[in-house]
C-alpha cells in the first residue's frame, strides 16, 4: 500500500472529505498540509453529518491519528471549538491529534484585517474570502516579524513582549489603512492564548519527525488537501485564490516530508463544477439549470453557508489540475445529482474571440470573456444512490464516466453516488479490498 494524497481538482467543495473518510480504514495517519478554518469537509456516516474545518478527517476513526502540518494556519479557538463539538458527540478527537510546532496561529487581528480588507473593496475587486483570517495570517508568516507559531504556546511567557509589539503595530496599520475603530488589546489577546495553551500545548510536536517515525514503523499516510487546485496561490485563477499550495506539490513543505513520499495522487471532482465567491467561472449556469443543480446537490458552503455557483463540468480546468498535480486517478462525486437531466454538459474547450483554445488563460479578465465549447451527452434517469457496481449504473452515466476518462487520460477509480460513506462505487477491487482488509472503524 502506497502513501497517498487526496486533492480537489476544482475550486473546492469537490467532496474531498467524503473520499478521505471512506479511505481512512486503509491508512494509519491522516495529514492536513495546507489552509486553515476556511476549509469545510463534510462527512456523513450512520445518519449523522460531521462538518470539519481544521481537524483532519482521520480523527473520526478510532485507530487513525490526525496530524496538522506546518503548512496549516491554526485558529486555536476554532480548533478547540471543533474538537469539543466532536467530544460532545462521543468522538475523542483530541486524543488522536498532533499539531506541528511550526504551524502558524490565526490571531483575532487576522480575522479583523480580513473582514476590513474585503469590505473596503468594491464588488469587482473582492476576492470572496471566507473572512477566517487565513490570508492575513499567511501574509504575516511571510513577513516573519509579526508571526506567532504553535511553539509559542509551549513557550507562552516568552511570547508576551513580542505580542505587545505586534499588537501595537497592527493597531497603527489598521487605523491608517481602514480607520478601524476596534481596539486591539495585547493583554486580552495574551490571556486568550493562555486559556487555550494548556489544552493545545500537549498536542504540539515536531510532526515531521513523528511522520518519519510512523513511516519507519510501516504505517501508511494519507495526505488531505484543503480547498481545490484551481484556488492554488501559484497555479489557480489568481487573484481569486486562497493563500496556500493546494495540490500535491504542497505536500512536501506543508506536511514536512520528502517530495518522493506520495506515490498515489487521487484527484476529486464533482460531475459538474461549482465555485464560491468571486472570480471567473467559464461554465457557470445562471439559469434554471444552474439552480436545479444547486438544489439537487445541496450546494451551500460548509464553512460559510453561501450558495455555490454551479455549472457544467469544466474539463479544460480539471485537465490542467490533473497535469499539474500528476494525478494518477479520479474520484468522481455527486454523480447522483445529475440524475434526471435529459442532457448533461462537459466543456471540452474555450472560445476566445472566435478562436478555440484548450487551456486556461492566466489573465482573469481574459478568462472571464471565454465561452465554453460544450459537448452534451445523454443524461440518465432513476435513483442511483443504491448502485454498488459501475456496470449497474444507467448507460448514460457510464458513458459520462468514460468520456471523462478519455478527456483526462487517467481512470475514474471511485464514484460517489450519494452523501453517505456506503454510497460509493469502486471501479476496480484495489480500494474496496484494501478497506475491507484493514477496516478498523
So which residues are the catalytic ones?
A: 13, 41
Q: Which residues contact 263 (CB under 8 A, 6 or more apart)?
A: 2, 3, 4
CA 64 to CA 57: how far, in whole Å?
Answer: 9
Here the cell at position 241 is 485564490
Q: What is the b/e burial string over 207-231, where b = at least 16 CB atoms within 10 angstroms of the residue's CB?
A: bbebbeebbeeeebbbbbbbbbbbb
In this structure, are residues 414 and 426 in contact, taking their beta carbons and an 8 Å threshold? yes
CA 390 to CA 311: how far, in whole Å?
Answer: 24
Here the cell at position 67 is 496530524
Amino acid at each position: 500500500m502506497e502513501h497517498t494524497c487526496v486533492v480537489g481538482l476544482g475550486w473546492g467543495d469537490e467532496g474531498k472529505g467524503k473520499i478521505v473518510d471512506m479511505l481512512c480504514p486503509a491508512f494509519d495517519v491522516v495529514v492536513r498540509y495546507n489552509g486553515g478554518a476556511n476549509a469545510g469537509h463534510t462527512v456523513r456516516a450512520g445518519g449523522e453529518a460531521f462538518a470539519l474545518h481544521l481537524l483532519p478527517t482521520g480523527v473520526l476513526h478510532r485507530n487513525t491519528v490526525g496530524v496538522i502540518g506546518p503548512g496549516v494556519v491554526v485558529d486555536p479557538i476554532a480548533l478547540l471549538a471543533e474538537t469539543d463539538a466532536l467530544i460532545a458527540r462521543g468522538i475523542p478527537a483530541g486524543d488522536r491529534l498532533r499539531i506541528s510546532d511550526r504551524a502558524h496561529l490565526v490571531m483575532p487581528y487576522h480575522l479583523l484585517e480580513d473582514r476590513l480588507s474585503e469590505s473596503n473593496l468594491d464588488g469587482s475587486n473582492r476576492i470572496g474570502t471566507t473572512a477566517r483570517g487565513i490570508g492575513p495570517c499567511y501574509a504575516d508568516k511571510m513577513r516573519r516579524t509579526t508571526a506567532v507559531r504553535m511553539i509559542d504556546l509551549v513557550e507562552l511567557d516568552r511570547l508576551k513582549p513580542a505580542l505587545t509589539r505586534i499588537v501595537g503595530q497592527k493597531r497603527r496599520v489598521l487605523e491608517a489603512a481602514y480607520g478601524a475603530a476596534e481596539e486591539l488589546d495585547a493583554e486580552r489577546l495574551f490571556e486568550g492564548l493562555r486559556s487555550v495553551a494548556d489544552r493545545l500545548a500537549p498536542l504540539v510536536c515536531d510532526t515531521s519527525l513523528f511522520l518519519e517515525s510512523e513511516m519507519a514503523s510501516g504505517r501508511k499516510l494519507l495526505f488531505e488537501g484543503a480547498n481545490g487546485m484551481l484556488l492554488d496561490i501559484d497555479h489557480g485563477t489568481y487573484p481569486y485564490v486562497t493563500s496556500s499550495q493546494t495540490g500535491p506539490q504542497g505536500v512536501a513543505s506543508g506536511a514536512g516530508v520528502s517530495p518522493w513520499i506520495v506515490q498515489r495522487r487521487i484527484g476529486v471532482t464533482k460531475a459538474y463544477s461549482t465555485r464560491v465567491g468571486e472570480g471567473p467561472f467559464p461554465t457557470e449556469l445562471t439559469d434554471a439549470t444552474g439552480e436545479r443543480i444547486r438544489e439537487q446537490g445541496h450546494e451551500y458552503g460548509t464553512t460559510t453557508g453561501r450558495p455555490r455557483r454551479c455549472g457544467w463540468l469544466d474539463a479544460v480546468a480539471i485537465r490542467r489540475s490533473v497535469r499539474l498535480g500528476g494525478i494518477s486517478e479520479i474520484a468522481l462525486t455527486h454523480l447522483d445529482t445529475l440524475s434526471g437531466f435529459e442532457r448533461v454538459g462537459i466543456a471540452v474547450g474555450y472560445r476566445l474571440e472566435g478562436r478555440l483554445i484548450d487551456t486556461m488563460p492566466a489573465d482573469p479578465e481574459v478568462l472571464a470573456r471565454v465561452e465554453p465549447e460544450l459537448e452534451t451527452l445523454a443524461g440518465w434517469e432513476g435513483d442511483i444512490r443504491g448502485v454498488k457496481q459501475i456496470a449497474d449504473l444507467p448507460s448514460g452515466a457510464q458513458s459520462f464516466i468514460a468520456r471523462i476518462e478519455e478527456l483526462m487520460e487517467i481512470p475514474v477509480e471511485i464514484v460517489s453516488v450519494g452523501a453517505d460513506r456506503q454510497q460509493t462505487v469502486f471501479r476496480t477491487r484495489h480500494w474496496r479490498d484494501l478497506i475491507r482488509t484493514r477496516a478498523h472503524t
